Amino acid sequence: MQILGKIGNYLKNFFNSMECFRFVLFGALFFGIERVSNITMGIIMLWSMYLFIYKLIIKKGIQRIRYRKIIYLFLGAAAFTVMLHRERNLADNLIVVYFMAVYFFQIYGLYSEKSNIRCQREIKRILLFIVSMTTVMMLIGFIGLVMFPKGFEWKGLYFILHESRFIGILFNANVAGFYSAMAIIACHILWRITRAQKQLSVKRKIFYLSCIAVNALSLFLTDSNAALLFLVTYCSFVMFYIMFRDFGKKRMHGFILRIAATALSFVVIITSLIFFRVITQSQVSLAITSGHSPSEFSTGVVKEDGMVGLTDDEYKGNVFGHENKNIDSGRFRVWTQAVEMFELFPVMGIGKANIVDYANSYIGGLRYSDFHNGLLTILISYGLIGLNLFIVFSIVTAKDILKTIFQYKKKCRDDGSVPVLLTAFCIAYAVYSMFELALLADISYRVYIFWLLLGFAVSYVRKYRLQARLEETDQSVIELPSAVENIRRKHRHKFLYIRACIRKLKAKYKSGKTKISDNKNDSDFNQSESAVKIRRKHKHKFLYIRACIRKLKAKAKSKHKSNSTEISDDKDNDDSKQSEESSE
């Protein structure tokens, strides 16, 4: 029975933990379970509903999420759009809206339920999982590339190589490219976190560098332009922050020079990565094609969408590369089709799950199954209203984060510049989403990790602002003691009422034998309950005033011993007068 009791307690704690839910959902999305197992995702949805009701509504955790009113409006507009087009794909559209709520409240909102230190522990576990599992999957893909240089197909799924691009075991070259780029960024963030915690050993350095090398090789072989731009933008923002963090108010020529240096760094980074990608693809092609004829790898087949495979003349020993030589990879045509869809339903949109059906009905179909642009997807799905609300939320959140990393530069350095790296990731992902679907209205690992790290970045905003508020409290007590007395006088009636209620409550239940629940009809109990409500409502004011008075007493006692006795006597007299006034 004891064993069963322990198991029951373990399961209870597990299913009541928001952290466990986030990790399970992350694992399901990372391995693509949402594509193959509807039962598993249904169980996860029921679990998330329970936590949403218990943690966020009953325990009122939702009230600690920043800019929640904008989120309410956005989700309400999305739900209204779904009901307008309820005759098509109602269940699928509702699931998409529900997962958007999960991203906002349960993934992005992790900072509302725990401190920054606990957030950091959770993020470290997830980033380490990303680095380890992505590296293992890419190594398996490299082994398969040696065994099957042309790749293979099994039950309609392609592995290792498809359309002259490395995919490993992830079925899609763009997805494989994002996994590799994300693993590189995760290694960088983990490096800085462990370094700030003074835990960066030689073994960890070797591990991180090895993972970076493996994933950089796979990123080059996937030939994904969007993933490469994702990594370039991340590095460029880090360089931008280094250039401007200590800029201040200087002359215009200094500003122009720093802008030029940032632009030059962007050009150098992207040029270097493209150069290394070309060299890597050619060298790996020579390695895996030794002993094979070019005709085994060339197709020379013109496909229905206009993309042409590599012919014998074009092959020239290089297995990897885009079969479609246009740098946009057909995205411009899809974006033109998105504009046509927007003209039909501009205000409220059509719902995410209706994009393909409505395109087939009104514009003759889409070239791809999505628009390869996160903002366009939101615009077509939920119209101008949904897009504007999402942009407002993005602007205010970005403003908070950017203001924090430039205002609290010293604190960022003490934390290993992790807030800067998280900001760089969020900005890089925003640029990446302009060329891919993943931004919000999608159930995938890419969307999940973006909102998770965005919530982690906001936890640093809360941490630094709280520390600054406490520091201002300490400084104001020393420099402005008169302001303390003004605040005390301003809230004097609240102190009198609460102090009288607490004194009566302590006097009545000092022995601890009588329970409060036995006297719910007593007027003293009702008075004490209202006192607690007022105390909770004005908690921040009481904390500030209490700290100010404590510092003022300590300063007076240390510097003026003779005057300290007079201050204490005056306070006792004030307390007695206040108690008499409250009893009256």
**Residue 408, pLDDT above cutoff 50:** yes
Cα separation, 199 vs 128, whole angstroms: 14
**Of 77, 67, 97, nearest to 354 (Cα)?**
97
Region 233-239 average pLDDT? 93
Q: What is the pLDDT of residue 499?
A: 67
Helices (H), 90-148: 90-102, 116-147
Mean pLDDT, rounded, for 477-485: 49
Strand ordering across the sheet containing 152-154: 152-154, 157-162, 165-168
> For 7-16, 71-80, 360-369, which range has the lowest pLDDT when averaged over its residues?
360-369
How far apart CA 523 and CA 526 sit, in angstroms, is 5
Q: Mind listing the pLDDT tens digit for each residue in 424-458?
A: 999 999 999 998 877 888 889 999 999 999 999 99
pLDDT confidence of 395, banded at 50, 70, 90? Answer: very high
pLDDT, tens only, 162-213: 888 899 898 888 899 999 999 999 999 999 999 998 899 999 999 999 999 9
Q: What pLDDT, on a 0 to 100 scale, did the predictor assign at position 307?
A: 41
Query: What pLDDT is attached to residue 215?
Result: 96
* Summary mean pLDDT of the chain: 80
Check residues 346 and 504 and name the one with the higher pLDDT. Answer: 346
What is the pLDDT, as a whole number, of residue 186? 96
Does residue 400 surpass a pLDDT of 90?
yes
User: Which position has the higher pLDDT, 385 or 88?
Assistant: 385
φ, ψ of residue 370 in degrees (nearest 5): -145, 180
Predicted pLDDT of residue 356: 87
- pLDDT at position 178, please? 94
The pLDDT of residue 584 is: 39
Q: How many angstroms separate the Cα of 449 from the Cα of each of 68, 251, 348, 471, 579? A: 20, 40, 28, 33, 56
The pLDDT confidence band at residue 314, using thresholds 50, 70 and 90, is: very low
pLDDT score, position 466: 87
- A 10 A CB-CB count for 53 gives 11
Report in angstroms the alpha-carbon separations of 124 from 19, 23, 120, 190, 202: 13, 12, 6, 7, 18
Give the per-residue pLDDT at 470: 81
pLDDT at 294 over 80: no
Burial letters 338-369, b for 16+ CB under 10 A, else e: beebbeebeebbbbbbbbeebbeeeeeebeee
Nearest by Cα to 104 from 448, 509, 433, 334: 448
Residue 562 pLDDT: 46
> Percentage of the chain surpassing pLDDT 70?
73
pLDDT at 483: 52
Tokens (6 digits) for 145: 């590339």
Decide if pLDDT at 241 tops 70: yes
CA distance 244 to 406: 9
For position 523, what pLDDT does the model report? Answer: 47
Confidence of residue 83 (pLDDT cuts 50, 70, 90): very high
As a whole number of angstroms, the distance between CA 228 and CA 280 comes to 14
pLDDT class for 287, splitting at 50, 70, 90? confident
Mean predicted confidence (pLDDT) in 561-576: 45
Q: What is the DSSP string of 309-347?
A: ---HHHHTT---S-SS-STTTTHHHHHHHHHHHHHHS-S
Q: What is the pLDDT of residue 133?
A: 96
Centroid of chain to Cα 475: 34
Q: pLDDT tens-digit profile of 375-387? A: 999 999 999 999 9
Q: What confidence score (pLDDT) does residue 485 get?
A: 54
Amino acid 536: pLDDT:
61
Tell me, what's the pLDDT at 486? 57
Of 545, 560, 437, 445, the closest CA to residue 495 belongs to 545
Q: DSSP label at 161?
A: E
CB atoms within 10 A of CB 505: 18
Q: Which residues pair with 152 in a beta bridge?
A: 159
Nearest-angstrom CA–CA distance, 295 and 438:
37
**pLDDT range class, residue 227, cuts 50, 70, 90:** very high
Q: What residue has token string 């006692």?
A: 557
Q: Looking at this protein, which amino acid is placed at residue 205?
A: K
Tell me how far CA of residue 544 lies from CA of 344, 383, 466, 528, 552, in angstroms: 56, 45, 12, 22, 12
Other Cβ atoms closer than 10 A to 138: 27
Q: What percent of the chain has pLDDT over 90?
A: 41
Residue type, 418: V
At residue 472 the predicted structure's pLDDT band, cuts being 50, 70 and 90, is confident
What confidence tens digit (pLDDT) does each residue in 494-544 have?
666 666 666 666 666 554 444 444 444 444 444 455 555 555 655 665 666
Q: Which residues are CB-neighbours of 58 under 8 A, at least 6 positions away? A: none
Band of residue 99 on the pLDDT scale cut at 50, 70, 90: very high
27-41, 147-161, 349-363, 385-399 — which one is most confidently predicted on average?
385-399
Classify residue 518 by its DSSP letter.
G
> For the CA atoms of the chain, what is the radius of gyration?
30
Q: pLDDT value at position 152?
A: 84
